[in-house]
Amino acid sequence: MIWNISKECMTPEEKRHLQGERLRKLVERVYHSVPFYRQKMQEMDIMPRDIRTIDDIVKLPFTTKQDLRDNYPYGLFAVPLSEIVRLHASSGTTGKPTTVGYTRYDLSVWSEMTARCLTAYGADRNDIFSVGYGYGLFTGGLGMHYGVEHLGATVIPMSSGNTSKHIQLVHDFGATALACTPSYALYIAETLEKTGIPRDEFKLRIGIFGAEPWTENMRKEIEAKLGIDAYNIYGLSEVMGPGVSYECQYKDGSHIGEDHFYPEIISPDTLEQLPYGQEGELVFTTLTKEGMPLLRYRTKDLCALDPTPCPCGRTSVRMSRIMGRSDDMLIIRGVNVFPSQVESVILEMEEFEPHYLLIVDRVNNLDNLEVQVEVKDGFYSDEINKMIELKKKIAGRLHSVLGLHADIKLVEPYTIERSQGKAQRVIDKRKLN
């Protein structure tokens, strides 16, 4: 069992002490080994000795994705390349990729963190995990892989793609756990139904889903379709990869591995730290990382933190679900829209499949939102009136949630492209023009 009681159940005082100590050492380290941070701190007139407790973190500079790009590929590394044993990279949608480098110690922390997650989901060494996250530069596949091995359970390194083969092996090998993106889980469920193999021939019981935003309604849908208990896992390559936070059996927010990652919520506008409970941008400082430590990395992910004790016994701060990224938020006719809001509405209605696409365009100088959604087999009809009624029904619900009119395009099942990794749910044509 990788239930690290000494780190997951610290008292607030113990935690503050440990975090303060680790922050002091971290700042000392980056000041002397990363010219980028030394320069930033000098510009702000801060010396390592100014950082004494964890509260002093607010004195430190932020780091952004742009800083990573500007220092591509190795500029933010704090150790010589001879100490780096693994590189990952994110392609990003624009500009240069960003690199992350791990020392052997960093990899051991990562394995422990993912193993901690799996333990929180109720898994142990008797489980067999099918990992359907992509293996490669993406951190999902290898990150989960080593966590499973660290736990002592069995890993099937499936990667993404080849869904029929995946299902066959999950069946034949008696896999008990599936790790992939929630959108790929849906695709797997759909493909599994088509195989006609009775569900009770599968031994799956746990799902480990993350790498993209998903809603509570999506959780219910996946759990019902696959007959499993679905858990959230969160992470980002810049900070580590999967395993930065994870749900426990209470599924009421994700526990952050605070002995390694110090979380803050800031206002993306003023950059001020916000109190617990308030929603804002999540920021992480990697307290123990050797290869590429980051001070106050701005994730762009929007959520809130809850410090109250959890009945599971872990005392770590929990983060709410990510409702979106500040750069994924659509502004349509002045109204803020997150794809997750649309997802929630669609999944509450029995008439629709959980597959949708948002297309935003500018028509006659006005923003226009089209929502394409698949109608379930039994509800698709040739009778125009029925379809018009259905359109009105969903348009009305969306209007009350978004405060905005959306054009609805009802499409037949299986018309919207399925995802095997992170789903692309938005096409913003305004950006293409």
Residue ranges binding ligand DLL (CB under 6 A):
90, 133, 138-140, 210-213, 232-237, 241-242, 299, 301, 322, 325
Nearer to ligand DLL, 140 or 263 (CB): 140
Please enumerate in sequence order all residues whose Cβ is within 8 A of that of 281, keeping only pairs 6 or more positions apart, or say none.
265, 266, 267, 268, 298, 299, 300, 301, 302, 326
Residue 184, helix vs strand vs coil: helix
Nearer to ligand DLL, 57 or 185 (CB): 185
Nearer to ligand DLL, 154 or 181 (CB): 181
In whole angstroms, the minimum distance from the beta carbon of 212 to ligand DLL comes to: 5
C-alpha to C-alpha distance for 207 and 215, rounded to whole angstroms: 15
C-alpha to C-alpha distance for 37 and 60, rounded to whole angstroms: 9
* CA distances for 78 relative to 74, 252, 372, angstroms: 9, 36, 47
Nearer to ligand DLL, 15 or 116 (CB): 116
In whole angstroms, the minimum distance from the beta carbon of 273 to ligand DLL comes to: 19
In whole angstroms, the minimum distance from the beta carbon of 362 to ligand DLL comes to: 26
Please enumerate in sequence order all residues whose Cβ is within 8 A of that of 40, keeping only pairs 6 or more positions apart, or say none.
61
Nearer to ligand DLL, 98 or 375 (CB): 98
In whole angstroms, the minimum distance from the beta carbon of 402 to ligand DLL comes to: 20
In whole angstroms, the minimum distance from the beta carbon of 241 to ligand DLL comes to: 5
Nearer to ligand DLL, 16 or 325 (CB): 325
Q: 353-380 burial, b for 16+ CB within 10 Å, e for fewer?
A: bbbbbbbbbeeeeebbbbbbbbbeeebb
In whole angstroms, the minimum distance from the beta carbon of 401 to ligand DLL comes to: 19
User: Are 89 and 99 within 8 A, CB to CB?
Assistant: yes
In whole angstroms, the minimum distance from the beta carbon of 42 to ligand DLL comes to: 29
Q: Which residue is nearest to ligand DLL (CB)?
A: 210
In whole angstroms, the minimum distance from the beta carbon of 136 to ligand DLL comes to: 11
In whole angstroms, the minimum distance from the beta carbon of 100 to ligand DLL comes to: 9
Nearer to ligand DLL, 139 or 286 (CB): 139
C-alpha to C-alpha distance for 312 and 249, rounded to whole angstroms: 7
User: Are 113 and 244 within 8 A, CB to CB?
Assistant: yes
Best CA proximity match to 242, nearest among 156, 124, 113 = 113
Give me 132's structure tokens: 């359907």
In 261-296, the DSSP E strands lie at: 261-266, 280-286
C-alpha to C-alpha distance for 367 and 430, rounded to whole angstroms: 8
Give me 271's structure tokens: 């950059």
Q: Which amino acid is at 12?
A: P
User: Are 148 and 155 within 8 A, CB to CB?
Assistant: yes
Nearer to ligand DLL, 283 or 360 (CB): 283
First to last CA, the chain: 54
Give me 315's structure tokens: 């005392």
Nearer to ligand DLL, 254 or 315 (CB): 254
Nearer to ligand DLL, 20 or 324 (CB): 324
Nearer to ligand DLL, 99 or 237 (CB): 237
In whole angstroms, the minimum distance from the beta carbon of 425 to ligand DLL comes to: 12
Residue 255, helix vs strand vs coil: strand
Peptide bond into 242 cis (omega under 30): no
In whole angstroms, the minimum distance from the beta carbon of 226 to ligand DLL comes to: 17
